[in-house]
Amino acid sequence: MEPDSRTRWRCRRGMLENDWLLGQFLAQGYAQLDQEGRDAFERLLDYPDNVLLDVVMGRQTTVDDGIARLVPALRAAAAAETAP
């Protein structure tokens, strides 16, 4: 399922790093999520920007198993586009 507009807008963040991470995931990983994954993604978007970045970068762990399961896919999507 493709992300709806609201989810897309919630991926507009205060930091470019998060814009990139979330934007890449919307383009390459989101469609493969099941309902549980989509719910976890919405919970991830509730995080403040710095926490979101730390969790995805692996600098901070989360007790939310659903979000933890998303992290590898987010990282894979972020680096999927080849370097220029």
**Smaller CB separation from other proteins, 36 or 49:** 49
Please report whether residue 80 would count as binding other proteins according to CB under 8 A. Answer: yes
Structural tokens at position 32: 């493969």
Distance in angstroms (rounded) separating the CA atoms of residues 84 and 81: 9
Please report whether residue 72 would count as binding other proteins according to CB under 8 A. Answer: no
Distance in angstroms (rounded) separating the CA atoms of residues 5 and 14: 18
Window 8-27: contact mask with other proteins (x via CB under 8 A): xx--xxxxxxxxxx------
Please report whether residue 2 would count as binding other proteins according to CB under 8 A. Answer: no
**Smaller CB separation from other proteins, 5 or 32:** 5
Structural tokens at position 74: 């987010």
